[in-house]
Structure 1
């Protein structure tokens, strides 16, 4: 393995260190889609968290121009002893190994220059990252991380410490921006989520053998299981026993499917777990109706679901709960239910939707290419301003 030890010079690439809350290879999210599209002038270090039961990159790996390395930190302390972190002294002591490991890889991979840019979406790193020397800092606000279940009380201080030092904010929704204590004068860019249009729109000739055996019509959901309204899925499956409900995607909660006893007992509900991103379009295109039965809560109401654009790029009809403004604004091509009863009742109507071209035209307007270009341009603009 060859590590770049050189420091930045006038001709050297721009270096970006990104502290992420999501592992690069676990779930395809906006971070991979955006960073993977940056131009050749960038060199990026992606610091991902440790998570039980998943593969890790204890030694750095390359993903295009991005170095990916796993560094355990505060978020990954087991819950049974996590209350110890309420004590600042213990929290600081438990932080040290992760900080030292992070600094080691930063130096070894050539990202130690104070000319670097530091980006953050994992606010557990907020206090540490705010003290690292750099050209400037930015926050990619893709979720309200203080609204996650079991969020420790001290985490707000870490977010505030980071926000007090940033020069640039990217946010997925105006509702999320309004919740953040951003100092006046900080430039804010509303940068939602998007889709690799051709990846989902190009017709797939092959279909999963497992899915081909499922009775049609197929009502499908593709995404993380943790935010799924399982009670609504159960109601839908019971109301339409002649339809098959297919669930695709990983769960952060260990043994999630085994714990869904009611869903397990329904013969028309099928769970296939995590599907590789490269294979996902073939599954989604096989849906007769794509579902978004997501929970409506403080966390999800500020979100911006990229599955909205993946579904519409695939051309399939979509039925969603009205849980965030991005969904509400997509009523021109998506069936949106304001209540759970309406969601169940609207299934046949949504199934009969034939506005394929309109859906794909809508999705085409939300390209990752355009979003990545906007982020890169904003970062370069700020970099040059501080270099002049």
Structure 2
């Protein structure tokens, strides 16, 4: 193991370079004596790491694997063709075993963490001192068109020591599948990164104030709600920041609806993001209300608060209602729109920032490490 005292393999549902999510935030804060292998999925048209990339004590490798669904012709073909499915699964597992051995992660003396349920069957067979499932989203709902996802997750859960979860709703869903010891390790924020004042980027300085802003994955936005906001606040600017999973989803929407007050700035590097967010006058979380949103506890909520911004959102989950003393929680679209004007007058900057301090990633990482250590003893 060299200079490393501990080893961990993390099977991830998203790419390392996609967005700065809880996985990257937590793993980057692990002590340097932890050697970590981060296995990420292939996403067509996106950067891959078929040859492992190293960031300090973390090794990132891209491995093609079985992720069937009904989203497109290729996915349908894979899902419905047993021979092809077995081939892709076996091919991916052989590559995984190769890198696990070459990079020094073989043997039982390691921790296995999983947030990609598609790897559940493979991960259930790996030897490890400790195994856990990080339930950071409604993974089964996202994979509902994948016929083997539930069974793969169940196989893995039966070999797990514990599970971490980000909302009570998610814990309840998993407990219905498999009774497992669980710990709440919610999402959080790099407080100093978002709280410390940054220089305003030129591109946002040119946009008319006040600014109603959103920063996050674009595809989850409720465009019907966005339309109501754009029509109600025609003299305001609506700034959207973040990557699109579906390509030109939001650009097509803006062109079709012809909203001159909506500005889509694309994905902004995480290091530069606070400079944009701090220029919002009101921050919004305008997601669709559906089964997936019922278990929401997004990082952006705490990032907005760390920046001292008034936040308008909906009562998606218990976590939002719990924070209704520092954020504006609407019951429906109409109330959401009306709350924006009220939020503009809100001056409780320090109260919001103080709230965000309690969700710093350093605390979350320490909590997870302590849980793991208790099982290693």
Normalised-by-shorter TM-score class: over 0.9
Structure 2 partner of 1:160: 154
Is 1:242 aligned to 2:241, yes or no? no
- Of 253, 265, 282 in structure 1, the residue corresponding to residue 258 of structure 2 is 265
Structure 1 partner of 2:135: 141
Shift of 1:90: 3.5
Structure 2 partner of 1:203: 197
**Equivalent residue runs for 1:1-388 within 5 Å:** 8=1, 12-75=4-67, 79-83=72-76, 84-148=78-142, 151-181=145-175, 183-184=178-179, 186-204=180-198, 206-261=199-254, 265-384=258-377
* Cα distance in 2 for residues equivalent to 1:150 and 1:254: 22
Shift of 1:86: 3.6
Q: Which runs of 5+ in 2 are unaligned?
A: none
Q: Is the 8 A contact 2:213 2:283 kept in 1?
A: yes
* Cα distance in 2 for residues equivalent to 1:76 and 1:199: 37
TM-score (normalised: structure 2): 0.95
* Cα distance in 2 for residues equivalent to 1:178 and 1:250: 30
Q: Which runs of 5+ in 1 are unaligned?
A: 1-7
CA 1:76–1:23: 2 relative to 1, 3 Å: farther
* Cα distance in 2 for residues equivalent to 1:85 and 1:153: 7
Q: Is the 8 A contact 2:119 2:152 kept in 1?
A: yes
* Cα distance in 2 for residues equivalent to 1:251 and 1:149: 19
Shift of 1:87: 4.6
Shift of 1:161: 1.0
Shift of 1:66: 0.8
* Secondary structure of 2:265 counterpart: strand
- State how many pairs are aligned: 374
